[in-house]
Amino acid sequence: MRRTNKQKRAVVLKISVCGVISALSYCLLAIGSIVEIFDFSVVVIASVGVVFCVVEMGYSYAALTCAVTSLISFLLLPASRFPALVYMLFGGIYPIIKSLAEKTKKPISILLKFLFSNASAALIWIITSWIMPETEHIGKLMLVTFVLLMNFAFWLYDVFITRIVTMYLYKWRRQLNIKDFDKL
């Protein structure tokens, strides 16, 4: 099947937009790497680019953006690699998981999202404990507190992403006069 020039332009435009979003996300993660107070905040903000890719271009381009940003961040972050780890295992991929999970019934959707969140947090905890063995002595009370706070923060993040998508679809997309990428 041959692609027309219009289809080729649409693919080139999508890849270009993914590249720009990846570059902006890397810049945010670099700020979080240097100023470690912002490491979780920049992951949340950088994930908004993947949200845009899911809404406008689909899952494959969103996964491409997430993969490129994760790879570049692991290779080039100036200080701590922790924001890249959190972005790769949670923040970058969560908008894709959220979109897929919300195609199911609401209770199942909520369960799937919280399972993903807790599995990601456990994996991040295991990796950071392996890389930084001094964190192994943290007590069970601290671990329980971490899990409770992490689930609350995840719930806030999920609400934030939902609100961003709603505002984008019903307000910002029209104000910015964004057209469908395939119809350009």
Decide: 78 and 30 in contact? Cβ < 8 Å.
yes
For residue range 57-84, list pLDDT tens digits in order.
999 999 999 999 999 999 999 888 899 9
Copy the structure tokens of residue 176.
């910015």
Q: How confident is the model at residue 96 (pLDDT cuts 50, 70, 90)?
A: very high
Cα gap 99→76, rounded to integer Å: 29
Q: What is the 3-state secondary structure (H, E, C) of 70-99?
A: HHHHHHHCCCCCHHHHHHHHHHCCHHHHHH
Q: Which of 38, 40, 30 is nearest to 72 (CA)?
A: 30
Amino acid identity for residue 156 in this structure: L
Q: How confident is the model at residue 184 (pLDDT cuts 50, 70, 90)?
A: low
Cα gap 79→82, rounded to integer Å: 9
The distance between the two most distant Cα atoms of the chain, rounded to a whole number of Å, is 61
pLDDT at 135 over 60: no
For residue range 156-177, list pLDDT tens digits in order.
999 999 999 999 999 988 887 7
Cα gap 65→138, rounded to integer Å: 35
